Amino acid sequence: MSRAIYRSMLWLHPAAFRDRFAAEMLWLYDETVATEGAAALLADGFASLVRQWLTRRLTWKLAAAVIGGMLQVGLVLALSRDVHSGRARASAAALFTAQPATSIDPRALPAARIAMENAVPDSQAKAKAASPRAVPVSTIPVGDAPLGFAVLFGIVFVYACQRRRFQLGVRSNSPAARHLSRNEAGEMHTAKPKSRLSIIAD
Amino acid sequence: MKAHAFLPLSRATLYILLALAGEDRHGYGIMQEVARHSGGQYKLGPGTLYDNLQKLAEQGVVAETSVRSANDDPRRRYYRLTGLGRSVLAAEIARLEAVVREARRHLPMARPERAI
């Protein structure tokens, strides 16, 4: 029974790891189950499964980066719309004057007032919209560029982190260890701080 | 890549490199050697072992060898330390020696007691 569970656990590992090590791991399970106990080996197998998917795979990090980038862009666009409508100014003014935001008229605020004074009346705006040249600035789809940049930045950032972690093999760096990290010539060398992922990978 | 970039090593990594320092070993041999080195206090499970071996192989610290004896199980794979692996292990041992020196300097009680 426990062997079947262990075998299933091995099957759940990423394909590259499974193809390379699963047969030998199962063989080791058979060799050590009598001495180590099935529970300890199953726990070890489960820890390996979690490590493989969480710390060795890049896929979920890329997905998180893309979603995070999209959320950031959405937030920026929402704030941008609020600023143009004067609501954000009202909120900020309410924060500093300790008045409820609803009691402040955005038209009383300088920038918003100037913008409203320069605003085109509705009839003129409709006439401009009818002409092919008159494209209001606010209708230009500027949201795509920041979205693309944010997603690209997220992907590059996560890739760089992942690459550096694999190359350097970053490990724990307590203050004492950092203080004592000297080579044989007595030169100090610094190590990177321990990340949560590297704790799991221990 | 410099060996110091890998420091400090995790406990599992240190014991695996120590086990491979003497000779090339397969997974079970590494597990037995780790238990022997630690006096049975630290036992490496197959999952932890192969997870670390995969990472170390990707980093070029250990490599798989083709050396097999005639009566070996075909599922067994042998691993050896690379030149970089030996440098990493030497650097870690030097670091640990420095830690022990510093500890002895700051903690006089840690020194061995004199025979009266």
pLDDT tens track for A106-136:
555 565 555 555 655 566 656 555 555 544 5
H or E element: which one contains B65?
strand B62-65
Enumerate domains of chain B plus CATH numbers. 3-110 (1.10.10.10)
Collect all residues with Cβ–Cβ distance below 8 Å to A11 and sequence separation of at least 6: A18, A22
From B28, B54, B94, residue closest to A183, measured CB to CB? B94
Chain B residues whose CB is inside 8 A of the A162 CB are none
Q: What is the pLDDT of residue B5?
A: 84
Residues forming beta bridges with residue B78, ordered by sequence position: B26, B65
Q: Which chain B residue is nearest to residue A48, measuring alpha carbons?
A: B47
Closest chain A residue by Cα to residue B55: A166
HEC readout, A134-162:
CCCHHHCCCCHHHHHHHHHHHHHHHHHHH
- Please report which residue ranges of B38-109 form alpha helices under DSSP H: 46-59, 83-106
Are the beta carbons of A32 and B46 separated by less than 8 Å? Answer: yes
Q: Does B54 contact A23 at a Cβ distance shorter than 8 Å?
A: no
Please work out, in degrees rounded to the nearest 5, the angle formed at the alpha carbon of residue B13 by the alpha carbons of B31 and B5. 165
Give me the pLDDT at residue B46, please.
93
Q: Which two tokens stand for residue B14?
A: 């240190």
Tokens of residue A101, six digits: 């935001």
Write out pLDDT tens, residues A133-169.
544 544 545 556 666 777 777 777 777 665 555 444 4
Q: What is the pTM of this model?
A: 0.56
Q: Where are the domains of chain A?
A: 2-54, 60-143, 151-201
ipTM: 0.78
